[in-house]
Amino acid sequence: MELSLAHPAVKAFMCGSLSGTCSTLLFQPLDLVKTRLQTLQSSRQPGLGRVGMVAVLFSVVRTEKLLGLWKGISPSIARTIPGVGIYFSTYYSLKQHFFPDRSLRAIEAALLGGGARTVAGVFMLPVTVIKTRFECGRYNYRSVTGALCSVCRTEGPTALFSGLMATLLRDVPFSGIYVMFYSQTKAMLPKDISMSASAPLANFSCGILAGILASLITQPADVVKTHVQVKPQLRTAKAIGYIYMENGLQGFFRGTVPRALRRTMMSAMAWTLYEQMMAHVGLKS
């Protein structure tokens, strides 16, 4: 079955892609800092003290210039344009199919958010692997295409799906928790606010709250995912053991601040822009 540009799912894909692209461009530096923090060597090594977000930020600017903060933006965009589009179009299609004429209950919102993220996460995992390697600073890839070819040639195609389980354990709960809290807090807003010109700001605030909660809950899975994708010889269970042996329990929360900031702001902005653009094209999100 062919889909035209006027098809609602296609409109949802385009609105989602545009909203995701805007937020990715703004918050890529936070993602890079988060990845660098998570892939630092053991804090027990001689001469390596406790390193925080600000120290990593200044280190990147000093050694790689200001534009170094946007290292990995090419794979980020390559992942975001189709990935966020797939996420929102899947979410919209599922919602219209199962719950077309009513608001979502908490568990329904969690299932829809998690289901949509599963589809997008599996489809875009190879680009996610390349993006993580770009950001960690240990690989000298020149382009997304070159990186994909290099990984396939030297490690085999299966390396492009390294960290699949850890990625799903991070992204599916995050999206489910986020959509659940976001939809429920939005439903609690007074009607005069929801219908006013300040509705986007109110929705953005709901997104901030939902993003913080979802980020904190899924942070350990994000650290494991990063290690598996940077060191493909590790499997999820071994990565968990490696992180614990190297840094203890606190190792599972490395990069919490930049990730929480980025994921929260990106999700809140993406959802706010998505809903505004959907309303502009005459569709209910």
Higher model confidence: residue 93 or residue 134? 93
Indicate whether 3 pLDDT > 60: no
pLDDT of residue 108: 95
User: Predicted confidence band at 172 (pLDDT cuts at 50, 70, 90)?
Assistant: very high
Residue 227: strand, helix, or coil: helix
The ranges assigned to domains in the chain are 8-280
Q: Are the beta carbons of 105 and 159 closer than 8 angstroms?
A: no
Mean pLDDT to the nearest integer, 243-260: 89
Quick: pLDDT tens for 155-168: 999 889 988 888 88
Is a pLDDT exceeding 80 seen at residue 137? no
As a whole number of angstroms, the distance between CA 116 and CA 219 comes to 20
* Torsional class of 163: left (φ above 0), alpha (ψ -120 to 50), beta (otherwise): left
- 46: pLDDT strictly greater than 70: no
pTM of the model: 0.78
pLDDT above 90 for 209: yes
**How sure is the predictor about 5, in pLDDT bands with cuts at 50, 70 and 90?**
low
DSSP 242-274: HHHHHH-GGGGGTTHHHHHHHHHHHHHHHHHHH
Q: Are 174 and 218 in contact (CB under 8 A)?
A: yes
The pLDDT value recorded for residue 47 is: 42
Percent of the chain beyond pLDDT 70?
Answer: 94
Helix count and strand count (H, E) for the chain:
10, 0
pLDDT of residue 115: 96
Query: Which of residues 112 and 246 earns the better pLDDT score?
Result: 112
Please determine, for residue 109, whether its predicted confidence score (pLDDT) is greater than 80. yes
Architecture of 8-280 per CATH?
Answer: Alpha/alpha barrel (1.50)
The mean-pLDDT minimum among 38-47, 54-63, 251-260 falls in: 38-47
pLDDT at 41: 58
Least reliable range by pLDDT among 30-44, 123-137, 175-189, 232-246: 30-44
- Per-residue pLDDT at 177: 94
Can you state the percent helix, strand and coil of the chain, rounding each to 5? 80, 0, 20
CA distance 265 to 282: 26
Instruction: Give me the mean pLDDT over the 205-210 stretch.
Output: 93
Altogether, the residues listed in the chain come to a count of 285
Pairwise CA distance, residues 69 & 61, whole Å = 7
Residue 125: CB partners within 8 Å, gap ≥ 6?
160, 161, 163, 164, 167
Across the chain, which distance is largest between two alpha carbons, in Å?
A: 62
Mean pLDDT lowest among 40-44, 177-181, 211-215, 263-267 = 40-44
Highest mean pLDDT among 38-47, 146-155, 186-195: 146-155
Identify the pLDDT of residue 6.
Answer: 62
Task: Report the distance separating Cα 1 and Cα 159, nearest Å.
Answer: 33
